[in-house]
Amino acid sequence: MHIEGTLTKWNDDRGFGFITPSQGGPEVFVHISAFPKDCQRPKLGERLTFEIEIAQDGKKRAKNLLYPGRPIVRPIRQSDLHYRHEKKNSVRQIIPLIIVVALVTYGYNKYNHHTSPEMTVTAQSNEAVTTQFNEKETSTSFQCDGRTHCSQMTSCAEATFFLRNCPNVQMDGNNDGVPCEQQWCG
């Protein structure tokens, strides 16, 4: 049988309080576990309906509390949380994939747009090396910008352009006219 009452004392830190029954009588102990699992904290002065049970120590305590003045809120089920978690994880997995695809596409387009000339190196004698270029694009796509070392280049064609056209480059250690032999033009 449900009894009506008012929450007259509440210790939120410790999770318990007392209900004063509307029909009179002594206060009834109530623990936070007796309240509905609707994620709303109990409030002083709030009307409640409850049942009474006798605890192991022989004292009365409230159980099966309801809030007649509050709208019914459906508690969050574990399956709802699992679905939301899966949805967040799938979005978190898709975003890096989209980024990788975008980077690969950008790199592919950049590579195709910026084709380097093919270079063939033919040794005619021990000291003389002839370099021939099969020009697929004009050398105007490169410009001197202060880079002087092989580690700053992105291709053999770029290194060759810098060696032929830019001042103070340090890319031909053996002065044979072939730049960056160990990194790009080897």
Determine, yes or no, domain membership for 81.
no
The answer, yes or no, to whether residue 183 has pLDDT greater than 70, is: yes
Structure tokens at 154: 């992105």
| Residue 78 domain flag | no
* Domain closes at, from 51, 66, 81: 66
Average pLDDT over residues 124-144: 55
Predicted confidence (pLDDT) per residue in 49-102, tens digit: 999 898 888 888 999 888 887 766 665 566 666 666 666 667 777 888 899 999
Residue 83, domain member (yes or no):
no
The pLDDT score that the predictor gives to residue 76 is 59
Please answer whether residues 46 and 7 qualify as being in contact, where contact means their C-beta atoms are separated by less than 8 angstroms. yes
Domain range for 151 is 113-165
Give the pLDDT of residue 134. 45
Q: Which CATH number belongs to the domain containing residue 51 in this structure?
A: 2.40.50.140
- Structure tokens of 37? 């699992």
Q: Classify residue 117: in a domain, yes or no.
A: yes
Per-residue pLDDT, 5: 92
Helix (H/G/I), strand (E/B), else coil: 52: strand
| Residue 80 counted as domain residue | no
Question: Does residue 90 lie in a domain region?
Answer: no
145 in any annotated domain: yes
User: Sorting pLDDT into bands at 50, 70 and 90, what band is 39?
Assistant: low
Query: Do the beta carbons of residue 34 and residue 3 sit within 8 Å?
Result: no
Q: Work out how many domains the chain is built from and give that number.
A: 2
Q: Over the chain, what is the mean pLDDT?
A: 79
Q: Is the pTM of this model over 0.85?
A: no
pLDDT given at position 81: 61
Percentage of the chain lying above the pLDDT 90 cut? 23
- Answer whether residue 174 is part of any domain: no
